[in-house]
Amino acid sequence: MRCQECGGEYRNSSEPIIYRVHGEDITVEGIEHRVCDGCGDELLSLKNTSALQRRANDEYRTRHGFLSGEEIKAIRTSFNATQEEFQRVIRSGPKSMTRWEKGTVLQTGVTDTLLRVLRRFPMAYHWLEIEISDASFEQDTKSAMCN
Ligand SMILES: [Zn+2]
C-alpha cells in the first residue's frame, strides 16, 4: 500500500506515537501501526486508534487528576440516570457520556469540575433537573406565544 500524500511505502512499526490531549503531547508506546517512510504519515486500525486514545487519555488523567470513566459512570448511576438523561441535565452533546465512560474522549477540565461538584453535592443535580425542565417550559411558552 502506497502513501496518498507522497507515494512512499508504509512499514510496520510499534514505535512510540505522540498524541495530543487538551493541548498536551502524550507519548504512547507499544501501539502497532504503519508509518510512511516518505512523509512519516501514521496509519492505525480502528481498534488501535481507540487503544491509543484511551492510553493517552489515561496518561493525561493520571498527570492532572481527572475522573476516570468508571468514576464518571458511578456518578451518573448514583442519580439513576441513563446516559441520555444525564446529558440532558448537564447539557453535554449526544454520545458524550458514552465516550467519557469508555475513556475514548477525555472530559474538559470544566466538565471534570462539574462532575465532582455533582458527586459531592447530589442536591445540585436535582436542582439542575428542575432548572432545566423550567427552562424548557419557558421556551415552550414563548414559542406558543409567538404562534
Ligand atoms: Zn507519505
d(CA 42, CA 135): 47
The CA 48 to ligand 1 mean position distance, Å, reads 20
Q: What backbone phi and psi angles, to 5 degrees, belong to 34?
A: -125, 145
How many residues comprise the chain? 147
The CA 41 to ligand 1 mean position distance, Å, reads 5
Largest CA distance in the chain: 64
d(CA 56, CA 110): 19
pLDDT at 144: 55
What is the tally of helices (H) and strands (E) in the chain?
A: 6, 5
Contacts of residue 79, Cβ cutoff 8 Å, sequence gap at least 6: 86, 118, 122, 125
**Is the sign of the CA dihedral 51, 54, 58, 64 positive or negative?**
positive
pLDDT, one tens digit for every residue, the chain (147 residues) = 899 999 999 999 999 999 999 999 999 999 999 999 999 999 999 999 999 999 999 999 999 999 999 999 999 999 999 999 999 999 999 999 999 999 889 999 999 999 999 999 999 999 999 988 877 666 555 555 554
pLDDT at 132: 83
The CA 37 to ligand 1 mean position distance, Å, reads 6
pLDDT at 83: 97
How big is the CA angle at 24 (ends 19 and 28), to the nearest 5 degrees?
35
The CA 121 to ligand 1 mean position distance, Å, reads 52
pLDDT at 6: 96
Report all structural domains of the chain as residue ranges with CATH numbers, in order of start.
10-64 (3.10.20.860), 69-146 (1.10.260.40)
The CA 24 to ligand 1 mean position distance, Å, reads 25
